Amino acid sequence: MFDRLAKTVSLLAFILVVSAFPVALSADTARAEGFVSELKVGLLAHDVPDLWSGFQRETDAPDINVEMIFARYVPFLGGRIHPALGASINTGGGTSHIYLDARWQIDTPSGLFFAVGLGAAVHDGETGTTEPDMKALGSRVLFHIPFEIGLRLNPHNSLSVYFEHISNGYTQDENEGLDRLGVRYGYRF
C-alpha cells in the first residue's frame, strides 16, 4: 500500500510542478486575483454501485478528495471555465487517482452553484483483471468527469455534493470504470 501511495503522491507533485508554469490562454481570458481561486476538500464513497459504472464494488473504504481551482478562467455561457487539479485518495488500499480538468461553473444570485468538467486522471489501480477485488480500468490514463452542485454559504465558504467518474471511455477492451459520490467543503479566496 505504501508503494501505491508514494506513486500517487509523486504523480500529484509532478502535475503540480507542470501546472505552475504559465498557461497561454486566448486574448479574452480574464484573470482573478492570485494563483488559486478556491480549495476544496471532501469525503467520498468509493466505487458507488449502480451509478455509471455498474454493480461491482472495489472496497467500502472512503476516499479523501482534495482539489485546487486555479484563478485563471475563460468566460463561457454565463459561467467560467477554470483549470482544476485534484486527487481522490482511497483510505483502504483501493484505486486512487490524480486529475487535471477544465471545470465549467455557474453561480446563481441565490448562492447555488453547478459545475461540470472534463479532464484526465492517472490512477494507481489495475488496468487488467489480475486482482479479483480490484476494477480492471484498462488504461493508466483515464477520462475524468466530475459533477457538482452546491451552496455558497458566504463569499468564502461553500458546501456541495460531488460526483466523479473515471473510465477509459471504451478505448480499451477492459473498461469497468469507477464512480465516487460524497460531500465537499470549499474555501474561495
In SS3 terms, 85-154 reads as EEEEEECCCCCCEEEEEEEEEEECCCCEEEEEEEEEEEECCECCCCCCCCCECCCCEEEEEEEEEEEECC
Domain ranges of the chain: 2-23+31-188
Per-residue pLDDT tens for 37-96?
999 999 999 988 766 665 566 778 999 999 999 999 999 999 999 999 999 999 998 999
Give Cα 133 distance to the centre of its chain: 23
Per-residue pLDDT tens for 135-172?
889 999 999 999 999 999 999 999 999 999 999 999 99
R_g of the chain, CA atoms, integer Å = 17
Instruction: With 0.75 as the threshold, say if the pTM is over it.
Output: yes
Q: What is the pLDDT of residue 54?
A: 58
With the C-alpha atoms ordered 152, 44, 47, 166, is the resulting torsion angle positive or negative? positive
Q: Spell out the residues 6+ positions from residue 132 whose beta carbon is closer than 8 angstroms to its own.
A: none
Domain 2-23+31-188's class?
mainly beta
